[in-house]
Structure 1
Amino acid sequence: MYPSIQSFIQDYRNESASTQKLLDTLTDESLKLETASGYRTLGHLAWHLIPSGGLLQPTGLKFDAPPEDAEPPASASTIAQTYTKTVESLLEAVQTQWTDAKLQETVNMFGQVWTNGLTLQVFVRHEIHHRGQLTVLMRQAGLPIAGVYGPSKEEWIAMGMDAKA
C-alpha cells in the first residue's frame, strides 16, 4: 500500500516509463499477433495497459481515459500516444484530487474492503502483470524487447556481453 501520494507518483512514473518503452516498440503489424484463438491479440493487450476507470472507478478518481469498452486502434503509435496522455492525466488527477489522507479511505473492491492506497498498488501490479505478458508476445512477434528490471537480451548484446536466450 502506498503511504503517500508522492510514493505512488514516484513508483508509477518509473513503472509507466518501462511500459512506455515497450509500447513505443510496437508496430502496426505486430498488433495483430494472437497466441491462440479466443485470446487477446498483442494489440488488445497493449490497449488494456492504458489506465482506465475500471479498477480505479470505485475510488472516485476522475481522469481522462478512453472508454472502458473502446476497441484498440490499429495504429501502434496511437496506442503509445494514448498511454502517454492517459498516464499524465492519471498522475495529475491523483496529485490534485487526493491527499495522503485519501489513501487511507476505503472502497468496496471485488467484495472486499480496500484502502485507496491498496487500490493504487493493485493497479500498478496489474499493469506490471500485463506488461510481462506483452513482452512474451513481443518476443513471439520478433520485436526487440526493452529491459525493464534489467537488461534484455538485445541490451546485453549491445553491451558486448554473452546473452543467454
Structure 2
Amino acid sequence: MIHTIKDFEHLWSRELETTQKVFKHLTDKSLTHEFSPSVRNLGRLAWHITTTIPEMMEKTGLTIAGVKHDDPVPSSAKAIFKAYGDAAISLLEQVKSKWTDATLEVEDEMYGEKWKRSFSLMGLIHHEIHHRGEMIILMRLAGLAVPGIYGPTREEWAQYGMEPPKV
C-alpha cells in the first residue's frame, strides 16, 4: 500500500528500474514479432506500459512530460526505452513536487469509478507488473534473453554456478 509520497518513491523507483531491465533486452526486430493475431506484440506491450503513465496519471491532474497516450508505437527499442524512462521519471518528479501525503487521499474519476490517488498509483504499478510478466513470456518465445527481475532466470542460475530449481 502507498501511505506516503516516500512509499511511492521507493516502490516506483524499483519498478522503474525493473521495467528498464526488461526493455533493455528488446531489439528493434523483436518489437514486431507476431505470436498470434490475438496477442499484442512486444512493441505494443512495451508502448502500452509507457503510454499508460500519462494516460492514467493525467486523470489525477498531473502533467507527464514526453510521450502522449495516443502516440504511435516507435519502431526503435531505444526510442521506447527512452520514452518510458522520461515518462516514469516525470511521474516521480510530478508526484514529489505537486502532491503531499494528504493528496494521496484525494479521489479522482478513473475509468468510471472514484479512486484515491494512492490507489491509482498502486494500480499503475500493478498494471506495469502485469504487462511485464506478459513480455517476459513473449521474450522467451522470441528467443530473447530475459533478465531476472524478482529472482534469477535459468541463465543467471548458471552464472552463479548453480542448477536452476526443478520446480
Question: Higher mean Cα deviation, 64-73 or 96-105?
Answer: 64-73
The Cα offsets for residues 65-84 of structure 1, whole Å up to 9 and x where unpaired, read as 31211111111111111111
Distance 1:151 1:143 in 2: 16
1:39 and 2:39 are equivalent in the alignment = yes
Give the aligned partner of residue 100 of structure 2. Answer: 99
Give the aligned partner of residue 66 of structure 1. Answer: 67
**Paired residue secondary structure (1:15):** helix
Unaligned runs of 5+ residues in structure 2 are none
How high is the TM-score relative to the length of structure 2? 0.93
**Paired residue secondary structure (1:144):** coil
The Cα offsets for residues 22-67 of structure 1, whole Å up to 9 and x where unpaired, read as 1011111111112211431111111111153222222111121312
Give the aligned partner of residue 10 of structure 2. Answer: 10
1:85 and 2:86 are equivalent in the alignment = yes
Once the two structures are TM-superposed, the CA of residue 111 in structure 1 deviates from its matched residue by 2.5
Distance 1:84 1:54 in 2: 15
Does the 8 A contact of 1:33 with 1:41 survive in 2? yes
How high is the TM-score relative to the length of structure 1? 0.94
Distance 2:149 2:76 in 1: 23
| Matches for 1:17-28 after TM superposition, within 5 Å | 17-28=17-28
In structure 2, what residue type is equivalent to 1:139? R
In structure 1, what residue type is equivalent to 2:66? A
Once the two structures are TM-superposed, the CA of residue 18 in structure 1 deviates from its matched residue by 0.8
**Paired residue secondary structure (2:35):** coil
In structure 1, what residue type is equivalent to 2:151? G
Does the 8 A contact of 1:33 with 1:137 survive in 2? no
Aligned-residue CA RMSD (Å): 1.4
Distance 2:117 2:46 in 1: 25
Distance 1:27 1:157 in 2: 24
Give the aligned partner of residue 112 of structure 2. Answer: 111
Does the 8 A contact of 1:5 with 1:100 survive in 2? yes
Give the aligned partner of residue 158 of structure 1. Answer: 159
In structure 1, what residue type is equivalent to 2:28? D
Give the aligned partner of residue 127 of structure 1. Answer: 128
Unaligned runs of 5+ residues in structure 1 are none
In structure 2, what residue type is equivalent to 1:80? F
Give the aligned partner of residue 49 of structure 2. Answer: 49
